[in-house]
């Protein structure tokens, strides 16, 4: 399995779980009640987050510079929302520009991005800490691009 095929597989799995979350919630509510609906949706989105982390980890192994640009964009987004929260903490009536107001409405989305980032770091640390034998199996699941 090549790096692009592996990347595609993890990405498609993440999208599938993302799309299945509302369906899982519907059936859980229909057959188990409202409490199970929330549980099913959270579980599906959590699995999607893990699969998205795996996809981005593979992207990091194959296209490291491009992944670095993604990291930088997420850093800017997280820092911006953090500074907006700091600015509003002292005075909730602080008026924000339309762009910053839109960013201010994204914190749950940015928390999701932060969770994916931590997942990528976790996979990297796991991969780097494996024994030689385990590392060979790891490289089958997450193939690395060969140096040119």
Which bin fits 8, alpha (ψ -120 to 50), beta or left (φ > 0)?
A: alpha
Between 12 and 3, the more confident residue is 12
Give the mean model confidence (pLDDT) for residues 93-102.
79
What pLDDT was estimated at residue 3? Answer: 60
Per-residue pLDDT at 1 exceeds 60: no
CB 49 within 8 A of CB 116: yes
Per-residue pLDDT at 110 exceeds 80: no
CB 84 within 8 A of CB 96: yes
Average pLDDT, the chain: 78
- Cα distances (angstroms) measured from residue 125 to each of 25, 44, 57, 118: 33, 25, 11, 10
Name the percent of the chain lying above pLDDT 90.
1
Q: Would you call 62 helix, strand, or coil by DSSP?
A: helix
CB 16 within 8 A of CB 50: no
Question: Where along the chain do its domains lie?
Answer: 3-141
CB 62 within 8 A of CB 3: yes
What pLDDT was estimated at residue 133? Answer: 92
pLDDT digits over 46-82, tens only?
A: 888 888 888 888 888 888 788 888 888 888 888 887 7
Give the mean model confidence (pLDDT) for residues 113-138.
86
Give the mean model confidence (pLDDT) for residues 112-138.
86
Per-residue pLDDT at 123 exceeds 80: yes
What is the C-alpha to C-alpha distance for residues 15 and 41, in angstroms, rounded to an integer? 14
Between 13 and 72, the more confident residue is 72
What is the C-alpha to C-alpha distance for residues 90 and 37, in angstroms, rounded to an integer? 38
Q: Would you call 145 helix, strand, or coil by DSSP?
A: coil
pLDDT digits over 14-49, tens only?
A: 777 767 777 777 777 777 666 666 677 777 778 888
């Amino acid at each position: 399995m090549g790096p692009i095929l592996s990347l595609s597989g993890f990405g498609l799995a993440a999208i599938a779980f993302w799309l299945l979350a509302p369906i899982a919630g519907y059936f859980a509510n229909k057959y188990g009640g409202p409490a199970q609906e929330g549980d099913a949706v959270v579980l599906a989105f959590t699995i999607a987050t893990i699969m998205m982390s795996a996809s981005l980890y593979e992207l990091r192994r194959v296209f490291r510079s491009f992944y670095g640009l993604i990291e930088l964009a997420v850093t800017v987004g997280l820092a911006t929302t953090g500074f907006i929260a700091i600015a509003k903490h002292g005075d909730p009536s602080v008026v924000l520009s339309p762009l910053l107001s839109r960013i201010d409405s994204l914190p749950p989305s940015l928390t999701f991005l932060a969770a994916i980032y931590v997942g990528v770091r976790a996979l990297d640390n796991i991969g780097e800490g494996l024994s030689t034998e385990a590392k060979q199996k790891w490289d089958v699941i997450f193939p690395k691009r060969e140096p040119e």
